[in-house]
Amino acid sequence: MYTEKVMDHFQNPRNMGEIENASGVGTVGNPKCGDIMRMYLDIDENQVIRDCKFKTFGCGAAVATSSMATELVKGKTVEEALKVTNKAVMEALDGLPPVKVHCSLLAEEAIHSALWDYAEKNGIKIEGLEKPKTDIHEEEEEEDY
């Protein structure tokens, strides 16, 4: 039921880990399944994403979509990264089974949340970026564990 690309990114996730002193970090969760995804962005002075890493505590589809999402946003400007929607990630993976589509939403939200963090830290506004709804704050997260 999974495409080869999904299996590949699930078994050999790209860019897994964290970035110290990241320009932006976003953590999001899916309230239904309880899965959590954290995205780290390293952004240079020209607002280009130099590096991107992720940590996902979740299902295989969530791991595969986060892996693909990091590959897609690397080298892009923050505005271009906004276009890496869950649809774009799913297309890059040659599709996901319908019941797993919500997993890919986590990846999109995690990117947005990390971009939001970056924008807030630097006092800038990224055109078209809205405050992520499923953002998890560190304090709440600790309670969850």
Using the rule CB under 6 A, is 30 a contact of ligand FES?
yes
Region from 3-11, 27-35, 70-78, 79-87 binding ligand FES, contact rule CB under 6 A: 27-35
Contact pick of 24, 29, 58, 132 for ligand FES (by CB under 6 A) = 58
Using the rule CB under 6 A, is 59 a contact of ligand FES?
yes
Q: What angle do CA 91, 97, 101 make, to 5 degrees?
A: 70
Using the rule CB under 6 A, is 28 a contact of ligand FES?
no
Asked if 78 and 49 touch (Cβ cutoff 8 Å), the reply is: yes
Asked if 26 and 113 touch (Cβ cutoff 8 Å), the reply is: yes
Number of shown-chain residues binding ligand FES (CB under 6 A): 9
In whole angstroms, the minimum distance from the beta carbon of 72 to ligand FES comes to 18
Contact pick of 62, 84, 115, 119 for ligand FES (by CB under 6 A) = 62
**Catalytic (active-site) positions:** 33, 103
Task: Give the H or E element holding residue 43.
Answer: strand 36-43
In whole angstroms, the minimum distance from the beta carbon of 145 to ligand FES comes to 17
Q: Which two tokens stand for residue 84?
A: 């890496």
